[in-house]
């Protein structure tokens, strides 16, 4: 993960909105309300979005002026790709007489970012820091936005402001670590990761980041010269490749970058290693280097080389250049239509933009290709789940499970849609 946020801590706890400042009948209902929001919070953490949407829609039928429920519904609709409805709901809460809250401004910012309207997203993230400058949450969101856009200098400046705020200071340090990692400064990155671990020693992800920086710093000097000599002679290549594969599995992207650079010094014509290096650079946010390497890949536009085009599409998608991402994902399907991966990326791209029909069309092409057909069924299930066609979604999740009984995402989507159907069946008549 390039940027990490501190969850809902420092932004808005789910039930406090109802437990303070209410009187009479509302106070008597407070335990029931608290239980409801605890359930919504748990569903959101588990990505059980279909069930969450159904429960929130029911609540808004009972309490149409419940602004907090409208916000939550807008935010979860964004997560499943219904960005237009999400935008309408959230903007309706921003009337001239309404007090603007951090949880609302950040939800709108995330919606505009998902739509590719980056300047609008930036304005709403900044508005959040103006509303609550004393808490870390808004600074983490704005810093993460700049970091994923490749604007590291601005990200660092914002996150350093966050160090002076109250809240999840450990998360601010983690994101500062990611900033320095994106610049290849392993020492400074490790410092911030260690500061975060002092505050949260149980954070396994951050501990892996420290290990990544340590390992990356170790690929230097005499060790580097010795390894390069071995690769040039052809001895130890298999062992070296296993080391790279192990680093990638553990998410040690900085170490992967250093190992692949060393390998390519000895074997500069290895296109698969160059593509792997470009992908690793993209993951840590070193976009310019990644773009230069990926666009220079030999046979980039030749039939059968669609996965290289997918890598470039992922780069532009991560950076927020959606038109360029779309063009490269389309190009990938033209270059390698017999492979599922280009169709999966194109379908997911459309789904996040709220273009369910285009997403389904792309993924149905993927069903006729070779590769991870179970993943195509999971993505089709997600498409139908996004438009509340739960029965059809369930069929696709079950198809994925038939192919791979260990497909966790399919089991997860299946349980979510079945629970959402139960909510509908148990709803009051006429709801």
The model's pLDDT over 231-286, given as tens digits with 9 standing for 90+, comes to 655 656 777 788 889 999 999 999 999 989 888 888 888 898 999 999 999 999 99
Question: Model's pTM, two decimal places?
Answer: 0.86
Give the per-residue pLDDT at 358.
97
Give the per-residue pLDDT at 49.
96
Segment (H or E) for 392: helix 390-403
Q: How far apart are CA 363 and CA 380, in angstroms?
A: 7
Instruction: Provide the domain count of the chain.
Output: 1
What SS3 state is found at 369?
coil
Name residues whose C-beta falls within 8 Å of residue 123's C-beta, 6 or more positions apart in sequence: 109
Give the per-residue pLDDT at 100.
66
Residue 204: inside a domain:
no
What's the DSSP call for residue 100? P
- 387-393: long-range contacts, CB 8 A cutoff, minimum separation 24: 387/82, 387/356, 388/50, 388/53, 388/54, 388/420, 390/50, 390/417, 390/418, 390/420, 390/421, 391/417, 391/421, 393/50, 393/417
Residue 344: inside a domain:
no
Give the per-residue pLDDT at 221.
57
Residues of the chain scoring pLDDT < 70: 1-29, 96-100, 220-236, 430-431
Residue 365: inside a domain:
no
What's the DSSP call for residue 255? H
- 29-33: long-range contacts, CB 8 A cutoff, minimum separation 24: none
Residue 345: inside a domain:
no
Helices marked H in 132-267: 136-148, 152-162, 169-182, 186-199, 204-217, 221-233, 237-249, 253-266
CATH number for the domain spanning 10: value is 1.25.40.10
Q: How far apart are CA 170 and CA 330, in angstroms?
A: 40
Q: In terms of residue numbers, what domain contains 122?
A: 6-19+29-128
Terminal CA-to-CA distance of the chain, rounded, Å?
Answer: 40
Give the per-residue pLDDT at 187.
94
Residue 58: inside a domain:
yes
Burial class (CB in 10 A: 0-12, 13-18, 19+), 223: exposed
253 neighbors 284 (Cβ within 8 angstroms): yes
Residue 341: inside a domain:
no
Residue 92: inside a domain:
yes
Q: How far apart are CA 359 and CA 361, in angstroms?
A: 5
Residue burial 181-217, b: 16+ Cβ < 10 Å; e: rest: bbebebebbbbbbbbbbeeeeebeebbebbbbbebbe
Q: What integer best gives the mean pLDDT of the chain? A: 88
Residue 12: inside a domain:
yes
Give the per-residue pLDDT at 97.
56
Compute the CA torsion angle 230, 236, 241, 247 (nearest 10 deg): -80
């Amino acid at each position: 993960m390039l940027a990490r946020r501190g969850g809902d801590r420092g932004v808005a706890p789910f039930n406090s909105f109802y437990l303070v400042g209410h009187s009479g009948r509302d106070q008597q209902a407070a335990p029931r309300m608290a239980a409801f929001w605890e359930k919504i919070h748990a569903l959101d953490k588990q990505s059980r979005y279909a069930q969450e949407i159904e429960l929130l829609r029911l609540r808004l039928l009972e309490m149409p002026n419940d602004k907090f429920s409208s916000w939550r519904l807008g935010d979860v609709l964004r997560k499943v790709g219904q960005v237009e409805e999400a935008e309408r709901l959230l903007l309706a809460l921003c009337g001239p007489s309404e007090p603007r809250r951090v949880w609302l401004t950040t939800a709108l910012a995330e919606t505009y970012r998902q739509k590719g309207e980056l300047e609008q997203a930036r304005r709403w993230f900044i508005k959040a820091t103006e509303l609550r400058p004393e808490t870390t949450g808004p600074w983490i969101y704005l810093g993460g936005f700049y970091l994923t856009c490749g604007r590291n200098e601005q990200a660092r400046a914002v996150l350093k402001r966050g160090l002076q705020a109250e809240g999840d200071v450990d998360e601010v340090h983690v994101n500062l670590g990611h900033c320095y990692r994106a610049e290849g400064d392993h020492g400074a990155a490790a410092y911030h990761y260690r500061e975060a671990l002092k505050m949260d020693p149980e954070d396994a992800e951050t501990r892996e980041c420290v290990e990544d920086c340590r390992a990356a710093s170790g690929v230097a000097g005499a060790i580097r010269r010795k390894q390069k000599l071995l690769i040039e002679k052809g001895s130890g290549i298999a062992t070296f490749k296993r080391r790279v594969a192990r680093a990638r599995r553990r998410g040690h992207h900085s170490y992967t970058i250093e190992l692949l650079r060393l390998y390519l010094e000895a074997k500069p014509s290895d296109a698969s290693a160059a593509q792997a290096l470009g992908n690793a650079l993209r993951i840590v946010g070193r976009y310019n280097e990644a773009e230069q390497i990926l666009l220079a890949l030999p046979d980039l536009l030749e039939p059968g080389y669609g996965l290289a085009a997918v890598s470039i599409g992922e780069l532009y998608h991560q950076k927020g250049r959606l038109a360029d991402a779309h063009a490269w994902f389309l190009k990938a399907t033209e270059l390698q239509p017999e492979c599922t991966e280009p169709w999966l990326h194109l379908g997911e791209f459309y789904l996040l933009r709220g273009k369910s029909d285009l997403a389904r069309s792309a993924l149905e092409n993927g069903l006729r290709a070779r590769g991870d057909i179970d993943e195509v069924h999971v993505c089709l299930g997600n498409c139908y789940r996004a438009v509340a066609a739960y029965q059809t979604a369930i069929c696709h999740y079950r198809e994925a499970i038939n192919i791979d009984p260990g497909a966790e995402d399919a089991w997860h989507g299946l349980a979510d849609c079945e629970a959402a159907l139960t909510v509908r069946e148990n709803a009051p008549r006429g709801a």
